[in-house]
Structure formats: C-alpha cells, structure tokens
Structure 1
C-alpha cells in the first residue's frame, strides 16, 4: 500500500502496537480510527491469531477487517536480536506504545517501560494484562473471560437457578481496551502540558482486565460494605430498580421496558389502563415499588401478552415510556435509526467484493473518525515502515532472507 497521510484529531500521533487478539489491538484500533499512525508488529509466522478467528473469507477473519483497520502491519521476529533492535527503534519514535503481553515479557526483550523511558522520558506505554503489572497474580494468564469472572460481571449475569452466563461478545477485553484508550488520552494530555513530545513527562498506563470490569460494577462494593448485600443473578431484571425487565409479547417477541423513573412509571401504568397502580401512593417511589416487584412485573407481563411487539411499542412510545425490541444484527441493518445515523460503512475487499463494516464511534462533529483502509495483509507495510527507519532495498531483502521480518 502507498504511504498514507492520516487525518483526524490524533493525526501526527505515532502508536506502536505490540499485542494480539482483542484488548491491546482494540485499544490501538480506536486510536487509528481517529488518525493516529499505528504500526502493528506481528510475528512473521502467521501474525495475529485473530486473523483466523470466527467467520473467514479467503482464509482471513472478517473480524480482522474491522479490528485492524487503518493499521500498518510490520512482521518482526522479536525473538531475534535484530528484530528487537528494530522494535526498539520504533518504540523510541512512538508517542504511545500499546502492549498486552504477560508482565515481564517486554522486559525480557529489553522493551519494558522502565528500560525505554531512560532514553525517552516522554514515552507513554499502555499495558493491558489479565491482572495488572503488580500483585501475586500478575504472572498468570488472564483472558477477558477470566477478567469478567473475577471482576464480578459473570456472577450477576443470568438467572438465579442456573449457572452464570457470559455476554455474547468478549466484553471484558473490550472494556479493558476502552480504559486503555481513556488512560492514553489522559497521559497524552499530561505529557503535552508538561513540555510536549520532546520534553514532557510520559507515564505507564496499567490496565488489568479484571479491574476494568470491576470498575463497571456500579454500587456493588458499598452495598456489601454497608448492608451486607451480595448482588445476585436476576435474569432480565435490574435488581432494586423497578420496573426494568424483559417481557414477552403475544406474538412471542421480547421487549425491554424501563419504567423505573417515578413519572415514567405513572405514564406506563396509565398507558396500560392500570389507573389503580398509577394512583397507588406506595408505588409512587422506587423503594415502594421494589417491595412489590413481582406484582408489578406480573401486571406488565399480562399487558404485554395482549399485544404484538409492534403494537406494544406504539403504545409505549406514545406514552413516552423507554422501551425497545431486542435486536439481532439483521434487525440493526434494516433499522431506520441505525441507517439515519450512518452506522454502516460500505467498503471493498482487495478482490472487489463489497463489504459493510460498523461505522466509527463516537461521532465527533469537527474531527470524525474515518476508515482509511481495511485490516492489512500480513506484512503489507514492511517495506514502507523499514524504509522510514533508513533500511534500503538490499537491507530489507536481507532481513527477509534472515527471517527477521
């Protein structure tokens, strides 16, 4: 691919990605979507394993086209001294390094934060790992599923009479990645106000997957500390916030109704024709409704059973009650709201096959993100990146022959 000039709020920011699979690459992906120049180092022996995950097209994951969009792929054998030397050169040119190896791996390669910051104090390194860079568990393998379990999410997911369930995506990795992005932006701001790229103060952003999940667990800790309450699995309901549950309509569809605001609850009951419940003073506040959760859910469930999903939605929307269908991807791709917000992008694979990708979020009014190219082929940018480091064609050919790239 020809050299490209990035645009966006992060244009000019150089990012080196040393990671595989989900957490680190998703973090780097978001920076790339908003203009950062991201160089992704991959093993010459097959590259990032996500290239072969889930549904494939011509041997490459369709997920890859999204997870690696706007990134440059450089193959580099980090077990070879010359490969590590090239990685170090790139690291010292970068503003941000994103890595998700186990703690200690980069140090073994002399690419750790403390080792690099001696030569570049302004360097920012985002480190994503299962359990963080310290503590008795730091050296253990930790995937997103483990982070979800240890961080409390799995314990509260599912029905009380069944084992915990997982969310249908790798939410632990993705939540950790978003924490990494936030940390990188705060560290970048601090660097810029303390002297900028050359003289500013860099830092390490230490993101543990279980802690990122734990950070999303709302009132879990003070409820246990002060009241001894252990939040349990409650299926589709939101415990202590009533009504907020999933109900089944007469045509067998599922609808989520969140009527938990005091004024919203009254509107919901009036829309259902339950004037008695709308005027019941005990139900006027959430704490009173919590004591009668089952009664309220049964009333809403009985009303939903007399409506189709579309008629129920029409009544609830007219009453200004938050409600929603549960969408599959098929529903999303034909939904007027998704389409009005341009939530799908049309692109082409190298062979000309058209493909839709999810659009980039969040939406910035002045400097929106942009898909400049789909996930690259393995080593697609080797010549470009190596030439930028001063390697001529003969030197690049030698690196290839020696198995360094």
Structure 2
C-alpha cells in the first residue's frame, strides 16, 4: 500500500538509515516511519534481519516482521566488505538520522565511527542502542533486552512473592530502549534546528531505559534501606489495587483513590469499611490491605468478570478484565480508536496489525507501505546515490549487495 499524502505527516522529509536488527533499533525506526520519516533499512545479505524468521511464519515470513518493518525500504548490503561500507557511508552522508543497535565498537570496526560520519555529514543524528551503553566497565558485554530488564531492576519485581522472577511476556526492555531512542532523536533534531544545525550522538543503554521507569525504587532504598520486593498482581504500598477471582476468570480493580475506595466498598456492600476512619487514606488501607483484598475477593468470587466490570463502571471504580489476543481482536473500543488495522502484505494476504501510537490531531501517523522483501529496494536506493545499473550488477555479482 502507498500514501500520496506523506507530505502531511510530521516527519515527512526526514531520512533515516536503520542499521539495527531484531527489536530495539527496528522498533525505533518503525515509530519514526509511522509518522512520515523515510526509513531505509540496511540488512545483511543472505537472510537479512533475523526477525524475518522469528515466532509464527506465514508464507515463509514472520507476521511480526509485517508490523515491525512497515513504512520501510530494504537495502541488502554486506557491511563486512569495504565496498559495502562505502555504500553505507554514502547513504549516511545524505541522511538525517542513523539508528544502530550493534555491540559497541562494531561501527568503528566498519570505518563508520560517529566522528567519521559526522565529519562527512555534520547534521547527522546518531542513535546508538546497546546493552550497557558506549562507556563503562560492562560496555563490551553482550546485552539483550532480558539482561537490561534484570539489571534495570524490573525482573526482581515481576514475580509472585517467593517465586521465580518471570518475564513480562513481551520484549519490554527492547521496546523501552526504542522509545527512549525516539525521544532522544526528536530532541536532537529540535536542537539541530534551533541551535546551529549540528547533529549529535544519542547513547541509549537497555538497562538504563528500564531503570528510568522504576519509579521510587532507589529513593526508597537510599532513604529507608528498603529493597522493594515482588508483589505479584498487587501494587505494594498502594491499596487496594489487585487481581481478584471471578466465577469465570480474573478481574483487575484499582480502588486506591480515597473517594474511589469509598465507592468501591459501597458497591460491594461493605459500608463499614467505607466509613472506617483509618481507611480514609492510603496509609491506613495499606495496613489492612489483606482484609480489604479479602472483602473484595469474597464479592467478586461469586460473579462473572463482565458483571464485576459493569458494577464497577456504574460505581465509577476503575476495573477491567485481563485481555487475551482474542479479546483485543473482538473489542469495539480498539476498533473505534483505529488500534486494529488491516494491512496488505507483499506476500499477497491481508493481516490485522496494531494501529499507530500516539494519536496526533492534525498530523496522525499512518501505514504508508507494507514490510519489504529482503533487498527489494536495493537497486532503487543505490541508483539514487548515482550508482549505475552496471555497477550495481557488478556489486551483486561479488555478493556486496543483494
């Protein structure tokens, strides 16, 4: 699919070279592409980005790939060869942004150190995502998202008390790093425009992106020596907020506001708790959280999830069912908000995919093109650099492009 109104998008005219693979770098590129940036994805010759083969495949390609690589063009280059590196440098000489998530030192080994690239293109903004950052004693250690989640403090908390720490269920460390990368790019572009036109290097470490979201974890330790512990489905120190059993599943109820708590207790027939002076504020409720959770569970246990959600809605108490993929796909609110889109793939089938976030009122993002086949745009992009068809054929013969 294509969109002739790309110029109306907020990042129209921005050229991004994505040299990352798998999750963190490519998610960053996807987000920029959804809002109009021209994203040229440089993939390795051979099999390309490993994400093409991850999880469930349809027509030989991951359906995850169809989401992660929409609004991108694919160029297949062998960056281990000098001629491939030279082509990459030519691309970067005309680019606004470079995204890379290789191990530190990889770009330098390819003759593409930031100072080299910015000498040729002073306006270039370079985002570098790695496990531990570009400096420090752990710099050269391999680091995937799960390691960032562990070192950032998240994995210690994602467990039932006394049980093994579990992963969130998605690659949240990579995604948080990507979103921090997007923020960094947009700030660097703003600075470039407002203060002289120079680019800069953005250093995002996976563990730091996770750590940045860990709320009061460190201040609590510093002030009180408290090491926050896993709380399972509850929100430790804030009550009541938990998952409660129903006759046909689980429901989440957040009654932790002072007035909300009173409405919640009235709705479940516990006016005694609603009127208790010591439960009027959070510290008192935390002291009696087991009793409060038990009262809520006694009420929810004999009711269906839908009945509880309806009752909580009428009482103006935040509550919700635990959604599965099927629940999301069938939910009218998701559809009304255009969070489920039908996307045509280049393999000839249509696929339901997540919509675009965030939602801008005047220049909303959109899916302008579907995910490319490996190297599908190589010839076109190289021709834009002034490389002739004969030269491209010779490069292909030597395995430098694909």
User: Scaled by the length of structure 2, what TM-score is found?
Assistant: 0.97
Worse-matched range after superposition: 334-343 or 113-122: 113-122
Would you say 1:228 and 2:246 are equivalent positions? no
CA distance in 1, matches of 2:371, 2:218: 41
Aligned to 1:285: 281
Q: Are 1:71 and 1:376, in contact at CA under 8 Å, matched by a contact in 2?
A: yes
Aligned to 1:399: 395
Would you say 1:321 and 2:322 are equivalent positions? no
Instruction: Indicate the SS of the match to 1:333.
Output: helix
Aligned to 1:136: 137
> 1:349: how far off?
2.5
Aligned to 1:243: 240
CA distance in 2, matches of 1:352, 1:106: 36
User: What runs of 5+ residues in structure 1 fail to find an aligned partner?
Assistant: none
- The 5 Å alignment of 1:35-184 reads 35-184=36-185
Q: Are 1:130 and 1:141, in contact at CA under 8 Å, matched by a contact in 2?
A: yes
Over 3 Å counting, the alpha-carbon distance change for 1:116 and 1:352 in structure 2 is closer
Instruction: Indicate the SS of the match to 1:177.
Output: helix
- The 5 Å alignment of 1:246-261 reads 246-249=243-246, 251-261=247-257
CA distance in 2, matches of 1:18, 1:4: 26
> 1:112: how far off?
1.6
CA distance in 2, matches of 1:394, 1:109: 25
Would you say 1:217 and 2:251 are equivalent positions? no
Q: Deviations over 1:259-294 (max 9, x none)?
A: 000010000001111010000010000011111110
User: Scaled by the length of structure 1, what TM-score is found?
Assistant: 0.97
Q: Deviations over 1:201-225 (max 9, x none)?
A: 2111100000000000000011000
User: What runs of 5+ residues in structure 2 fail to find an aligned partner?
Assistant: none
Q: C-alpha root-mean-square deviation of aligned residues, in Å? A: 1.3
Over 3 Å counting, the alpha-carbon distance change for 1:21 and 1:351 in structure 2 is closer
CA distance in 1, matches of 2:11, 2:112: 24
> 1:41: how far off?
0.4
> 1:3: how far off?
11
Instruction: Indicate the SS of the match to 1:202.
Output: coil
Instruction: Indicate the SS of the match to 2:374.
Output: coil
Instruction: Indicate the SS of the match to 2:120.
Output: coil
Over 3 Å counting, the alpha-carbon distance change for 1:3 and 1:369 in structure 2 is closer
Paired residues, what number?
400
Q: Are 2:345 and 2:371, in contact at CA under 8 Å, matched by a contact in 1?
A: no
> 1:351: how far off?
4.5
Q: Are 2:104 and 2:134, in contact at CA under 8 Å, matched by a contact in 1?
A: yes
Instruction: Indicate the SS of the match to 1:97.
Output: strand
